[in-house]
Structure 1
Amino acid sequence: MNLLLLVVALGLTGASPLQDYKVCQPHARPWQVYLHGGGVSCSGALVDKLWIVTSFVCAPTSYSTIASLGEHDVTVNEGTEQHIYVADVIHHSPYYRSPLHSLVMLRLAEPARFTQHIQPIPLPSRCPQPGETCHVSGWGSTIPNQYEPSKLLKCISVPVVDDQTCMNTFPEFLFWSQGMVCAGQANTDNCMRGGGSVMVCDGQLQGVQWFSHGCSNPADPSVYTKLCLYSDWINDVMDRHTTTLPTQTTPVQTTP
């Protein structure tokens, strides 16, 4: 009894670290991609056997970054994974001159083999609406102001908020863009600290994370690239580049 009281007291005083229980059902998001190596540790979304969508901050280095498909626990071999080098990185521009777009397309060195655990996510056929509940997943902390990455894929549900509400929370040094969509608010699960975390609404890919504002202040919505505005660009990139096969032969990797 005394030991139990001690454990409770330590938790109340902050001596015990907060627990983060928002773990996805394993392999319930077969489009989720773990990007690692070459200075990158991010998420992305598989949209085709050769193509991944992610955010600008996650742009990797060709043939240095590996895309791990079919992942849940990134520290162990679960037997469901395919590890494939990123062969080509295509930025939507401009970003540096005017940070209005945060979107990168990644072409794999080898086509992914679709399985029960590896499937593409459909591109959006419409835009998300304020009040709609969407689902965000990534390998980041879901505890505000904690930065430890997660070995397990995390999932949260967030409401989409209107543009004006989002703009009202922007710090002065950030620019609002029509290419942004915001989700999350006070009293909801509003923190996913993981670059390129994937937002899915009604079974369609609607966002990759741009700014994780909700991890600094749970009352502020986080910002995602509004992918419904980029479907034409994404399809055009895939049409123009898929026929050009990588010149460097890189086999599917068996270990991360």
Structure 2
Amino acid sequence: MNLLLLVVALGLTGASPLKDDKVCLPHSRPWHVHWPTGRVSCSGALIDKWWLVTSFQCAPTYGTLVSLGEHDVTVDEGTEQHIYVADVIRHSPYYRSPEHSLAMVRLAEPARFTQHVQPIPLPSRCPQPGEICHVSGWGSTIPNHYEPSKLLKCISVPVVGDQECRNTFPDYLHWSMGMVCAGQANTDNCMRDSGSVMVCDGQLQGVQWFSQGCSNPANPSVYTKLCRYNDWIRGVMGRFGPTTTSPGPVTP
């Protein structure tokens, strides 16, 4: 009994290694794109051979080298495509009134679609409360643990109704109709990747906005509700496509 208590105590104090076993089946998310950001994990979703979608706060800078076809970001798996960023278009406003968190990233050359690199369709409908969706990213899935993962992680989360989500909001967060919440107590509810991708029924439905579930597993995390942004996304693709000259990052 004393030995058991000692093991538990060491785990609580961090002396034992933290187990984070939510690893995706390798290359099962061929739309997921990775780029270097230091100690903060950021990523996004490929929606077209030229375009990625990510959160406002994860938008890479002009000239960043992004990697498609990744699973283990520390080794060359022979499946990767490394392409520079040619343009970044952020949805506004954000800093003055954080009602949107979305950015479009145009590649300097088109992605080559392979078994390991494929786009994810934009949503044809909005996610419904109770629907089970799948979130992936290169962040930790352990609450209050911040170290990024070298392997792509996957969790499954239930969509939560708007009012239930708003009831958990801290005072400093402003609710927006561009938000959708997912995850709750007794589910996998933490993905500390600010551009983690939420897919429901094979469609792109969210990119992470606030990882509330990583601070308190009882609270849902917040994602950009992409079904409300189809027109904006397609408009950006039309206006800032590869035939249009655009001098670096733009905020429309």
What TM-score, normalized to structure 2? 0.92
Tell me the number of residue pairs that the alignment of Structure 1 and Structure 2 aligns.
243
**Paired residue for 1:170?**
169
Output aligned runs, 1:41-80, within 5 Å. Answer: 41-63=41-63, 65-80=64-79
Higher mean C-alpha deviation, range 231-240 or range 21-30: 231-240
**2:181 is aligned with 1:192:** no
The question of whether the paired residues in 2 share the 8 Å contact of 1:39 and 1:60 is answered with: no
**2:237 is aligned with 1:238:** yes
The question of whether the paired residues in 2 share the 8 Å contact of 1:135 and 1:199 is answered with: yes
Output aligned runs, 1:142-161, within 5 Å. Answer: 142-161=141-160
User: What is the alpha-carbon distance in structure 2 between the residues aligned to residue 219 and residue 193 of structure 1?
Assistant: 15
Where does the alignment leave 5 or more consecutive residues of structure 2 unmatched? 248-252
Deviation of 1:61 (Å): 1.0
The question of whether the paired residues in 1 share the 8 Å contact of 2:40 and 2:193 is answered with: no
User: What is the alpha-carbon distance in structure 2 between the residues aligned to residue 126 and residue 106 of structure 1?
Assistant: 23
What TM-score, normalized to structure 1? 0.90
After superposition, the CA RMSD in angstroms is 2.0
**Paired residue for 1:22?**
22
Where does the alignment leave 5 or more consecutive residues of structure 1 unmatched? 249-256
Deviation track 1:58-113 (CA, whole Å, cap 9, x = no partner) reads 011101x1110000000000000000011100011111111000000000001000
User: What is the alpha-carbon distance in structure 2 between the residues aligned to residue 27 and residue 221 of structure 1?
Assistant: 27
Q: Which amino acid aligns with 1:158?
A: V
SS of equivalent to 1:36? coil
The question of whether the paired residues in 2 share the 8 Å contact of 1:42 and 1:194 is answered with: yes
User: What is the alpha-carbon distance in structure 2 between the residues aligned to residue 159 and residue 39 of structure 1?
Assistant: 28
Q: Which amino acid aligns with 2:31?
A: W
The question of whether the paired residues in 2 share the 8 Å contact of 1:38 and 1:60 is answered with: no
**Paired residue for 1:13?**
10
**Paired residue for 1:252?**
none
Deviation of 1:239 (Å): 1.3
Deviation of 1:12 (Å): 5.5
**Paired residue for 1:223?**
222
**Paired residue for 2:200?**
201
Q: Which amino acid aligns with 1:27?
A: H
Distance 1:143 1:227, change over 3 A: same
User: What is the alpha-carbon distance in structure 2 between the residues aligned to residue 160 and residue 141 of structure 1?
Assistant: 20
The question of whether the paired residues in 1 share the 8 Å contact of 2:213 and 2:220 is answered with: yes
Deviation of 1:11 (Å): 5.5
Deviation track 1:124-174 (CA, whole Å, cap 9, x = no partner) reads 000000000000000000000000100000000000000001000001111
**Paired residue for 2:92?**
93
* Amino-acid identity (%): 77
